[in-house]
Amino acid sequence: MDFLPIFMKMRGAPALVVGGGDVALRKARLLHEAGCRLTIVAPECHPELAEWIASGGVRQLARGFMPEDIAGQRLVIAATDDEAVNAQVSALCMAQNIPVNVVDNPRLCSFIMPSIIDRSPVIVAISSSGGLPVLARWLRTQIEALLPAGLARLGRFGQEVRPRLKTAMPDANQRRGFWERLLASPWAEQMMNGDEARARADFDRALAEHNAPPVGAVYLVGGGPGNPDLLTFRALRLMQQADVVLYDNLVAPEIVELTRRDADRIYVGKRASQHTLPQEDINSLLVRLAKEGKRVVRLKGGDPFMFGRGGEEIETLAEHGIPFEVVPGITSANGAAAYAGIPLTHRDHAQSCVFVTGHRRDGSIDLDWAAITRPQQTVVIYMGVSTAPALCAALIEHGKAADTPAAVVERATTRAQRVLTGTLTTLPGLIAEHQIQSPALIIVGDVVKLAGTLAWFDGAGRVG
């Protein structure tokens, strides 16, 4: 380990930045945010630095660097474009054991500035030991996407209750176990989401009961159309925190693999006319698992409220008083249309879009034909592959032209995506010939004609 990771308390402490340009500004901004008593040594300063100086928040020595400038400083940063000056600052500081950083020159540094994720009081610092700063910044973007903004609220609450918790639990191991249980429960999500009144009440209850297990919760999470990159940040975070994950056939295997490794994964099936568990049993299982104190993710393809039976499931949860949350996902229709190059609306072709399901609860396809056969309208049919011949025939029977463009998109947004285009007359044959399987969507309307021109995804993960 080339550098010791350390967090320094700098509020009210003197710090010096030698230099006044863009690079100096970036370093000075961090010191300023940390509450330092900041001095800038530079004949001229960046306009933002000049504003701080004018307001009296920062002191400027409007000249070149002099050795006596480092006297009494807690920390020094050299950020000039003069290598000789930077080397002089470094040598003087090291001789006096003053921490010094020379920007972009690790050899002259006694400390380096990490890439920072700020969720104060929670701070994450990332470093490449000065070897490749761009790598540290790239890692920051990857990690930052997983850290909710509400983490700061959680950190502040921890600071607030620390003395109280220490009094209630003098033993450090007991306190650690208490926090581990609490942070692994839905309580953490309550606090981070701003439901502070309930979170405080639950904290008080947990503290009074000490070792009582926390109440569970259910999260209905939209897994999107299949491509893992299209998951929301919140969906991914909850998937990686879950104790139990219930998923079905419409969730891509790559999505399931992103759930927590040691979570219990329960496949509940739900192919058309093939149910590993009936819907009523799934509802009951969600209730039972939550009552056991578990964090349950009900992972659904697309969006939970778009033909995903999410409404039925949360009705049961509400009846039993189970806390729940719905996390929207990119709908299968939006994903399929976008990746197939078929805009669902287009002012030259379609002014409206209708979403329908290819079969109802009783297996029938008795749809509102008058509503879905209107002109200049796109129709997206979920779960319609197995009934495509009857659906296409019924659309023609109720007024749609036999040569109306139609497409089927199988495993949309993934490397296995296939797009077949034809007409209401030819589409059922294409589906049979190419053995199209669920998950797949049917899109009907003039916008399908644009697929040949606007298609950008080749199904192998490449653009173009």
302 in a labelled binding site: yes
Q: Which residues are catalytic?
A: 248, 270
Please give the C-alpha separations between residue 251 and each of 168, 353, 437, in angstroms, as whole numbers. Answer: 45, 24, 14
Instruction: Work out the burial of residue 171: count CB atoms within 10 Å of its CB; fewer than 13 is exposed, 13-18 middle, 19 or more buried.
Output: exposed
H or E element at residue 427:
helix 427-433
Strand positions, DSSP E, 344-383: 352-357, 377-382
43 in a labelled binding site: yes
412 in a labelled binding site: yes
Cβ atoms of 304 and 324 within 8 Å: the answer is no
> Residue 317: CB partners within 8 Å, gap ≥ 6?
218, 283, 286, 287, 290, 324
Strand positions, DSSP E, 248-336: 264-267, 295-300, 324-327
Cβ atoms of 307 and 381 within 8 Å: the answer is no
CA distance 227 to 427: 25
> Residue 12: CB partners within 8 Å, gap ≥ 6?
35, 36, 37
CA distance 462 to 464: 7
> Residue 69: CB partners within 8 Å, gap ≥ 6?
16, 18, 39, 41, 61
194 in a labelled binding site: no
Please give the C-alpha separations between residue 329 and each of 21, 112, 272, 284, 333, in angstroms, as whole numbers. Answer: 44, 40, 21, 24, 11
23 in a labelled binding site: yes
Cis-peptide into 278, omega within 30 deg = no
251 in a labelled binding site: no
225 in a labelled binding site: yes
Strand positions, DSSP E, 114-189: 115-119, 122-126
405 in a labelled binding site: no
Q: Which residues are annotated as a binding site?
A: 22-23, 43-44, 225, 301-303, 383, 412
List residues forming the annotated binding site for S-adenosyl-L-methionine: 225, 301-303, 383, 412
Binding residues for NAD(+): 22-23, 43-44
